[in-house]
Structure 1
Amino acid sequence: MTQAPETLLTALRASTPLVQCITNYVAMNIAANVLLAAGASPAMVSDVEEAEEFAGIAGAVTVNIGTLSPPFVAGMQAAIRGAQAAGRPWVLDPVACQATSYRRVVVQALVARHPTIIRGNASEILSLAGEASQGQGVDGRDPVEAAEEGARRLARSSGAVVAVTGEVDYVTDGTRAVRIEGGSPFMPMNTALGCSLTCLCGAYAAVADDAFDAAVGALSHFAVAGARAHDGALGPGSFAPRFLDALAAVTPEALAGAVIHDAAVPA
């Protein structure tokens, strides 16, 4: 790992990267608050009329297919063009990509545009890797470990770093891999935290030299903040504001203690 999570958090807060977040309607407010709490600057710019131009001034672009429509997809494609023309990273969140034929067509076209990072739950990553999943709508029903082999294959075929999030997260670029522990069982009970994590991956990618390090940094930040917010929370309702506070309170020194384990990658 060339840039540790604590190094990237220091860089993120020093530069406050602008992240263009094309995300679903449910997630917009939550994702914006997560980025602000972490130390980045969100912009929910998705209309095709300005998405490409705006991507040229953003530090990174994130694309989430949670609430699809043809105008939304046109804005995604425009933003990706702008990001790639400017040499900026872009992150894909393939929400419920297994659910309908429309989603499958859209997400395959997006993967073909070579995302820098793909972040999804195990069911979504299994589907992208061409395997059967137990996902139901936007809910992942598969364990992370079931998607690890598919994540490695997807990383190699797409060129993206693949982050599979769940009880224990898994990040791979097809050659390297780590598992990250932490978080809280209340996190899946709060809507759009996964979508928000995708946006945070964009913020870390904006300041990182290596997309693998960026994904590990963002997931570590979430894991440490989630574990801290869990202490004293009575349930998912009281957890939510504690989580935003914890994201803001996490220091680089705290990220140095994130629980990250190297994972063997089969040849």
Structure 2
Amino acid sequence: MHSWIDGQPATAVNLQNRGLAYGDGLFETIAVRGGRPSLLSRHLERLALGCQRLAIDIDLALVRDELLRYASQLGEGVAKLIVTRGDSQRGYAPASEALTRRILQGGPRPAYPAGNAEQGIGLFDCQTRLAQQPLLAGLKHLNRLEQVMARAEWQDSACAEGLMRDVQGHLIEGVYSNLFLVRDGVLLTADLSRCGVAGVMRAALLDEAPALGIEVRTGDLVQADLEAADEVFVCNSVYGIWPVRTVAALNLDWPAGPLTRKLQAVARTLLDT
């Protein structure tokens, strides 16, 4: 699948692009099914929030149109949208005349083992910690070195994801997913006001849960919460939900419980819309 820049086929980006030089931008990773981008409205809402917070000018109607056209050509797979502040000369100060760049890339859906969703996965307990920066918290910005360093910590195929904490030791998320715990029928997830990525699937599940009669609590999660959990799962907007079976290094394990299975079915439906 060819890449697009600003709505046109292209294979190279300007070396003065601020996304390349400074990570000055945002991205969305979007599942494409039947020629349509899944959860498009939620992806655009998060993108709009990020652009507003970073003061990046964006035409959302144009982005939406390009995504729809690109997805129709891709058919099935995953589209990655990158938005950067544009091109400028050396120096941190953004050029007032810089034009926002929109980069689209596509590829096949990752070939995850079926057992990840059916039997569950192992989590690796990462030592890389997430720094706290409230201005960037929740955003899917281009600075992903913490995730790169965390993912380099393990090669064991028994662990499909890594568990990440902040500098104070709070449980935050997976390397490329959001984390949920279930205790006494209550759905628990981390407060992401200081660090972490507010995932699109996470937001959708939090919105769906009350209608299913599921109580939700968002706040600081610590090791004791993990140890007391009845069920654990991770989610993102490409694969939906994976039950977490174990964190081997911590000698913890859980079943793929009923609430996880209920929400897993919800996630599948959401990805098809």
TM-score by length of 1: 0.26
Q: Which has the higher strand share?
A: 2
TM-score by length of 2: 0.26
